[in-house]
Amino acid sequence: MVLKIRQTGDLVLRLPARPLSPEEIVSEPVQGLIAAMMETMRDAPGVGLAAPQVGYGLRLAVIEDTADYIARLPPGQAAERRRTPVPFHVIVNPEVTVENSDQVQFFEGCLSVAGFTAIVPRALAVRIDCLNERGEPVSIRAEGWYARILQHEIDHLNSHLYIDRMDPRSFMTLDAFNRYWRDLPTAAFLEALEEGQEGNG
């Protein structure tokens, strides 16, 4: 079942989600929600989806980054972003520990801010302590693009969107991004900004 993805302006995206007990996680309604979220994420398509994005204020998200998605990137971008396939999995009640606070900047989008993208700084490496879809405790260590996906989805559970963290100068439509910047490294946009500022100084 494909669910409706809520868009920015919907209050559910701006309210903190509540944690789930292990008993709730394994219940039929939550297991059904997980299955529907997986289908919705794949249909979109996206690499992550948090429960608030489909109208449920629960600390639950699904994540998957496939080799097929990565193969569609312009040459060199997978390596630049340190992006590798991530199998489907579920995170519940996640807590983030930053393991490498070096900030990396890349264009990022969101299914709940449809049609736009912007450069967002994120920590390079994180550890996530959470429960899985069976209510079991797990610890995930992630770096590169996987760490970015996790931080993005957990932001949703804490009532944040990427537009709260973005470089506002980089906010643009996906049409403009695909026309001018998609095939270039993120640094090219940042350098163009700096050069433009110096030229106007």
Q: How far apart are CA 190 and CA 173, in angstroms?
A: 17
Q: How far apart are CA 186 and CA 2, in angstroms?
A: 33
Q: Whose structure tokens read 């100084």?
A: 201
- Cα distances (Å, whole numbers) of residue 113 to 73, 75, 122, 149, 196: 21, 26, 18, 15, 28
CB 157 within 8 A of CB 15: no
SS3 133: coil
Bridge partners of 123? 103
Residues with a catalytic annotation lie at 153
Of the candidates 51, 82, 66, the residue with the CA atom closest to the CA atom of residue 144: 82
Residues 61, 48 contacting (CB under 8 angstroms):
yes
State the CB neighbour count (10 A cutoff) for residue 192: 13
